[in-house]
A and B are shown apart, each in its own frame.
Chain A
Amino acid sequence: GDSVTQMEGPVTLSEEAFLTINCTYTATGYPSLFWYVQYPGEGLQLLLKATKADDKGSNKGFEATYRKETTSFHLEKGSVQVSDSAVYFCALSDWGQAGTALIFGKGTTLSVSS
């Protein structure tokens, strides 16, 4: 079945460092891909998305490009801030099955220090 694999955390960075969180997926068809962020004790917030190959999603300085050839959707940010400390989840949708659940990776914890 479809699945998402994220790099293991935690990821610990200093403020202004470059961030990459790897995400690869296995899917039949052409899923949409998402990154969600979860701050401590809260629900998930949609960070960015991409719906087809070569699409780039971006928001708040974060970017991810849908790479069909490598089945990847890596999250990047050029300069992280302390406020970016959170858990990041990569997710995919079942192609052609709107209204069905997303499939999530296990999450990657990011900790940024000043």
Chain B
Amino acid sequence: DGGITQSPKYLFRKEGQNVTLSCEQNLNHDAMYWYRQDPGQGLRLIYYSQIVNDFQKGDIAEGYSVSREKKESFPLTVTSAQKNPTAFYLCASSKGQGSYEQYFGPGTRLTVT
């Protein structure tokens, strides 16, 4: 079955540690996205990538980094510079190329204490 996988479902880290969230898709989509969700705030865009080896900052990129070395994979690193990292993180993908709808993974809940 085609889809987007995110792992792990729950992640716990100590303050000051970097952590990498995994996102993999087998939909052959060109574009991938990372969103952050906080209660009552909807989804906010962190980074997106329209094509392999290229990515752009979203609205809240500070304290995050990404890479896009393969079409299928778009990992997100939450660095120690991110002041408030505890949140629900959602990865999505779309075909790009004239298609706008996005498909989402199940999300990773990160808790930093």
Interface residues on A, range: 20 to 34
A51 vs B101: C-alpha distance when bound (angstroms): 10
Shortest distance between the CB of B96 and any CB in chain A (Å): 3
Main secondary structure of the interface of B (DSSP, over half): strand
Say yes or no for A99: interface residue by CB 8 A criterion: yes
Which residue on chain A has the smallest CB distance to residue B109? A41
Interface residues on B, range: 20 to 34
Set of chain A residues within 8 Å of B53, measured between Cβ atoms: none
A36 vs B94: C-alpha distance when bound (angstroms): 14
Set of chain B residues within 8 Å of A45, measured between Cβ atoms: 104
Residue from A36, A89, A98, A106 whose CB has the most chain B CB atoms within 10 Å? A98
Please tell me which stretch of B40-48, B67-75, B78-86 contacts chain A, meaning at least 4 of its Cβ atoms lie within 8 angstroms of it. B40-48
Q: Mark each residue of chain A from 10 to 36: 1 if its CB lies under 8 Å from any CB of chain B, else 0.
A: 000000000000000000000010101
| Residues of chain B at the chain A interface (Cβ within 8 Å) | 4, 6, 30-31, 33, 35, 40-43, 45, 48, 50-51, 58, 90, 92, 94-107, 109
Q: A41-B109, A93-B100 are in contact. List 13 more A-B contacts (CB 8 A).
A: A34-B101, A41-B107, A43-B6, A44-B92, A51-B100, A89-B42, A89-B43, A98-B95, A98-B98, A99-B31, A100-B50, A102-B100, A107-B40
| Residues of chain A at the chain B interface (Cβ within 8 Å) | 32, 34, 36, 41-46, 49, 51, 89, 93, 98-102, 104-107
